[in-house]
Amino acid sequence: MNDKRPILSVENLTKVFGGVVAVDNVSFAVDEGEIFAVIGPNGAGKSTLFNMITGVLPSSSGNVYFQEKRLTRKKPYQIAQLGITRTFQNLEVFDNMTVIENVMTGAHITMKTNILTAGLRLPNVKKEEIRIMERSMEALEAVGISHLAYELADRLPYGSQRLLEIARAAISNPKLILLDEPMAGLNSEESRQLVEVILKMREQGMTFLFVEHDMETVMSISDRIVVIDNGVKIGEGTPEEIYQNPQVVAAYLGDEEEEGVEAYA
Amino acid sequence: MNSKSLNKIYNNSLLGPMIFFAVLLCIPLVTSSNYVFSILTMVGFYALVCIGLTTLTGYAGQISLGHAAFYGIGAYSSAVLTGTYGLNPWLAIIIGAVISAIVALIVGIPTFKLKGYYLALATLGFGIIVFTLFKELSSITGGSNGFFGIPSISLFGFEFITDISYFYLIWIVVFLAILFMRNIIHSRIGRGLRSIEGSEIAADAVGVNLMSYKLQMFVLSAIFASVAGSFLAHYVSFINPDLFVANTSIFFLIMVIIGGKGNIWGSIVGAAIYVLLDELLKHYVPLLLPNVGGEFEIVFFGILLVLMLIYMPNGLVPQFEKIVSKFKRKPSANSTLQSISANATGGDNK
């Protein structure tokens, strides 16, 4: 089973809002164990693409397959149950819970407790709770915020909330984690910490698909990159290939993100 | 790590509930007034309804304006099955609960497919339909005249007839219901429900099936209301449709708001305050204003609801807890802060 079957394939995905084509016939495939990035200028359709993959928005046409299973028209919670979790650009921690409860909620789909066994608090419910709590603590240790476990998630600084979202996304052992602009709003120290966490998790076999603006990160950690502009895919390849693709440089790197490219070069 | 560390997140201690109920069950040592017990028994029935309703409102974020209907379905199921068909009362309670659960599913499934507060509308209409059925199916329910002669309930040969015996019975049921609900809230299910309030989009993304959770809570709250109704029927031995009008549903909601939505203990406080105020109104309003009709209750509680929502939207119990914790924390605030920051630096050094 070591042939390179894509874990996620996006086929001719299109989204039309009224008369505007936000995403136009985009296709790509993510292999298992890859860190795959989607980049593009603001308004290029990255978020729309992301929302279609996670089931938040229905696509106008085209399909998404995850391990041969069609995701199109599935609800977000069903997609999560198949093994795709995500983080959010504008942080969506459960602000009414403690940090550890946030992570425990991430393990929701791996647990068996139902309303009846929970109410009666059968012995295996308690066992499961303890097991999940231990695993959640380990997940918090992995991202380096276990000392904040009993704080209200709301009180965490921005960077820690992002790490919390990653721990929450990873706790259910998904096969693919989608990161929506993970570097947005982080200072350079926090970004470095986050990159470290992502690389470490990839070593353990996790696949990442992320949408990002921060060129430095994209170039330094991605295996492959897809570039979209005005909803159309204009390039695909390794960071080196993207850097040398004249169309990409003209559309995106050339005028807007020179610093990023220079930093990479 | 063991269950002790679990207690860092959830207070699963039995001490609080035990003390509360020990005190409550000692009341017969102080008084033997049947009036007191009948009042406290009514508080118990209402509290049982509110434990379900407060969780539905506070955790699943859904408003039901039809819980009097489930209360009534329980009461009439018990009345008809035991009074007309001579069934065992306990079996009748279970059948009533099953009927309520099925009805809740039928109302809930189409409603929860819609986003927003459609449950309030759907249950309001549903409550009126059920009330009409109680009234019009007079060959079964006795219609507007009511249903007479509901037998008393018995357990292991002991027959519950007196006010004090029902007082014990209902409060033991309330005790069990509180533990049951608290266990749910302190579990995967409770986190699933709270995650919906924390961030609906993130709850969806971690695989919480929002619709199913809202539906399950609705069904559970319907069962609680139904069981309360069943006990009520056996206690009063005579019921009529007027006990289950739409106003009753609204009063249940007012009790929930008074105690604090999502607060299980608040449901007891809310029920107690409602019953107490209601009794006081019944005594004093006719003395002060002899010409006033029966409508003053709804006016009074309507104004109370508005005032609560403006000045104390979280209800009495959370407000009280806030005050208590302010007094408690003052001396130890510094040391807690220090230990947190010590932990924080310890973590960074790793």
pLDDT tens digits in sequence order for chain B, 350 residues long: 456 677 888 887 888 888 888 888 888 888 888 899 999 999 999 999 999 999 999 998 889 999 999 999 999 999 999 999 999 999 999 999 999 999 999 999 999 888 777 889 999 999 999 999 999 999 999 888 999 989 988 888 787 888 888 999 999 999 999 999 999 999 999 999 999 888 989 999 999 998 999 999 999 999 999 999 999 999 999 999 999 999 999 999 999 999 999 999 999 999 999 999 999 988 888 888 777 766 788 888 989 989 988 988 888 888 888 888 887 765 444 444 444 443 433 333 33
DSSP type of residue A15 = E
Model pLDDT, residue B317: 86
Q: Which chain B residues have a beta carbon less than 8 Å from that of A56?
A: 201, 204
**Cβ of B187 and A118 within 8 Å?**
yes
Sign of CA pseudo-dihedral A176, A181, A186, A191: positive
- The mean pLDDT value for A157-174 works out to 93
Please give the span between the terminal C-alpha atoms of chain A, in angstroms, as a whole number: 37
Model pLDDT, residue B346: 37
CA trace torsion B174, B179, B180, B184 (10° rounding): 140
The residue count for chain A: 265
> Cβ atoms within 10 A of the Cβ of B300, count?
15
Cα within 13 Å of Cα(A241), Cβ side: 11
Please say if the pLDDT value at position A252 is more than 70: no
- The model carries a pTM of 0.87
A115 pLDDT tier (thresholds 50, 70, 90)? very high
Percent of chain A's residues with pLDDT above 90: 68
**Predicted ipTM of the assembly:** 0.87
How far out from the chain centre does Cα A78 lie? 16
CA distance A73 to chain B (A): 15
Is residue B195 within 8 A of residue B203, CB to CB? The reply is yes
- The mean pLDDT value for A112-119 works out to 92
Please say if the pLDDT value at position A251 is more than 80: no
Please name each of the domains of chain A with its CATH number: 1-83+174-265 (3.40.50.300), 92-173 (no CATH)
Please name each of the domains of chain B with its CATH number: 16-314 (1.10.3470)
Model pLDDT, residue B64: 93
> Mutating which of A82, A105, A134 best tests the B interface, going by the most B Cβ atoms within 10 A?
A105
Cβ partners under 8 Å of residue B93, min gap 6: B74, B78, B227, B230, B231
Instruction: For chain A, say whether B194 makes contact (Cβ under 8 Å).
Output: yes
**Cβ of B347 and A147 within 8 Å?**
yes
Please give the span between the terminal C-alpha atoms of chain B, in angstroms, as a whole number: 20
Instruction: For chain B, say whether A77 makes contact (Cβ under 8 Å).
Output: yes
Pairwise CA distance, residues B179 & B171, whole Å: 12
* Residue type present at position B142: G
- Could you write out the DSSP letters of every residue in A183-236? TTT--HHHHHHHHHHHHHHHHTT-EEEEE---HHHHHHH-SEEEEEETTEEEEE
Burial of B55 (0-12, 13-18, 19+ CB in 10 A): buried
> Cβ atoms within 10 A of the Cβ of B267, count?
35
Residue B6: closest C-alpha in chain A: A130
Model pLDDT, residue A104: 96
Instruction: For chain A, say whether B1 makes contact (Cβ under 8 Å).
Output: yes
Model pLDDT, residue B243: 94
- Per-residue tokens: B57: 């409102």
- The mean pLDDT value for A214-222 works out to 84
Pairwise CA distance, residues A91 & A101, whole Å: 16
